[in-house]
Amino acid sequence: MKGSEISVYVHIPFCVRKCLYCDFNSAVQPDYIIDSYINALLTELDLKREAFVSRQLVSVYIGGGTPSSIPPSYIRLILERISSYIPINDDTEITIEINPGTTVDHKIGDYVACGINRISIGLQSADDEELKALGRIHDFETFLHTYDVVSNAGIDNINVDIMTSIPHQNKESLVSTLKKVTGLKPQHISAYSLIIEPGTPFYQRGAVNLDLPSEDESLEMDRKTREFLDAAGYKRYEISNYAKKDEKRDFRCLHNLRYWDRGDYLGFGVSAASLYGNRRFTNIADIGPYITSPGRQVSEDLLLSPDDAAAEFMFLGLRKTDGIRLLDFKEEFGTDIKRIYGHIMKKQVEKELAMFSGEGDEERFMLTDRGLEVSNIVMSEFLR
């Protein structure tokens, strides 16, 4: 039952070094801060334990920052505390993000032992020059070693992050990265187009000085990525996400699907966001005040109106290649979706940016490949 399910996000804001394009809340910190922070995180879990009552835990995602930069004992403490409030079972997807530059040789055993069953590795590129341009701390060789360690430890659900539109990148170097990555046969690949976010060193340097691929080149790279991964057996299920899927197993990321399906989730730690019963709230970003009163201060707290919720339903759902099920809209909002968005949907279909498929209760509305390429334009139509 969707309504009784819940997911958990845990934010570890520590890094060995900050990447040049990163706009996540993360920083390099001394050890004693890490210890106080984990304690605060545990306190926040205690504080919000009521929220887990009568719920089933679908997924836990430990992200950052670089969660692999801190001792695995902390990760164990966190997962133990979660399981004391809500049962973790075999189906629960538990992901940790790791950076190939942080040695995991001695950590992987602990990860497996405490229940982690999915690992996401931030590779970005198989080209060492491109990695340098991004300010990453690893090279491709180090990544290969990390990948072996993870896969030899028995993890059978591995994601590799790669990036397109990196400074100096071209189609050939992208294809080379794709070849090298798919050769390893991970179960999941996230392929992001680099976004220059305000506040990052990249942003300050300015697009002109970065030697970024042009809009046309960038689009070509996106298309090449799609085509290549499709041929290699990875099915695209969201704008930037690809997974292996067959009768036996579906390797789409359960946790991220929760975000796009608007399932409830609770975020713990600084800047962690939550959606709980149509309330969206986000913890404060400052680590000091967070440690002093964990989970009690928010930077944002919104009760979503039906309008807000419907807009979210559309722009989040349409990120997925299978789009939205019309019946889901009716069940959540009590109105036929076509009564509200019918004319906009029709317009998008006419422009070949979207389409309908299926019939009756299974009728769905989704963006076409072209629609996904310009999805901001399509999605903004569904906002007020």
Partner 1 sequence: MDISQDHIRNFCIIAHIDHGKSTLADRILEKTGLLTEREMQDQVLDNMDLERERGITIKSQAVRTVYTAKDGEEYIFNLIDTPGHVDFNYEVSRSLAACDGAVLVVDSSQGVEAQTLANVYLAMDHDLDVFPVLNKIDLPSADPERVAEEIEDVIGIEAMDAPRISAKAGIGIEEVLESIVHKIPAPKGEVKSPLKCLIFDSLYDSYKGVIVFIRVFDGCIKSGDRIRFMANGMEEEVVETGYFGAGRFIPCDELTPGMVGYITASIKDVREARVGDTVTSAVSPCIEALPGYKKVNPMVYCGVYPADTRDYPNLRDALEKLQLNDASLTFEPETSLALGFGFRCGFLGLLHLDIITERLEREYDLDLVTTAPGVVYRVYKTDGEMIELTNPSNLPEPSEIDYMEEPVVSAEIMVSTEYLGAIIGLCQERRGVQTGMEYMEETRVLLKYDLPLNEIIYDFFDALKSRSRGYASFDYEMKGYVQSSLVKLDILINKEYVDALSFIVFKDSAYDRGSKMCQKLKNEIPRHLFEIPIQAAVGGKVIARETVKAVRKDVLAKCYGGDITRKKKLLEKQKEGKKRMRQVGSVEVPKEAFLSVLKLDEE
Run of H or E residues at 60: strand 56-64
DSSP code, position 374: T
In whole angstroms, the minimum distance from the beta carbon of 294 to partner 1 comes to: 17
In whole angstroms, the minimum distance from the beta carbon of 316 to partner 1 comes to: 7
In whole angstroms, the minimum distance from the beta carbon of 130 to partner 1 comes to: 17
Instruction: Considering the complex, state which of residue 107 and residue 242 has its C-beta at the smaller distance from partner 1.
Output: 242
Q: How far does CA 335 lie from the centroid of its chain?
A: 30
Output the CA–CA distances (angstroms, integers) from residue 79 to 50, 95, 320, 321, in the order listed: 17, 11, 29, 32
Q: Which residues are near partner 1 by CB under 8 A?
A: 9, 192-195, 215-216, 218-219, 222, 239-240, 256, 258-260, 265, 267, 271-275, 280, 282, 300, 302, 308, 311-312, 315-316, 319, 351, 353, 372-377, 379-381, 383-384
Instruction: Considering the complex, state which of residue 83 and residue 193 has its C-beta at the smaller distance from partner 1.
Output: 193
280 closest CA partner among 261, 291, 268, 265: 265
In whole angstroms, the minimum distance from the beta carbon of 219 to partner 1 comes to: 4
97 in Cβ contact with 120 (< 8 Å): yes
Instruction: Considering the complex, state which of residue 114 and residue 372 has its C-beta at the smaller distance from partner 1.
Output: 372
Instruction: Considering the complex, state which of residue 72 and residue 295 has its C-beta at the smaller distance from partner 1.
Output: 295
Amino acid at 241: N
CB atoms within 10 A of CB 188: 24
Q: Which long-range contacts (CB under 8 A, 24 or more apart) does 328-337 make?
A: 333/306, 333/309, 337/365
In whole angstroms, the minimum distance from the beta carbon of 103 to partner 1 comes to: 27
Phi, psi of 106 (to 5 degrees): -95, 0
Output the CA–CA distances (angstroms, integers) from residue 343 to 60, 305, 329, 346, 382, in the order listed: 39, 22, 16, 5, 10
In whole angstroms, the minimum distance from the beta carbon of 141 to partner 1 comes to: 27
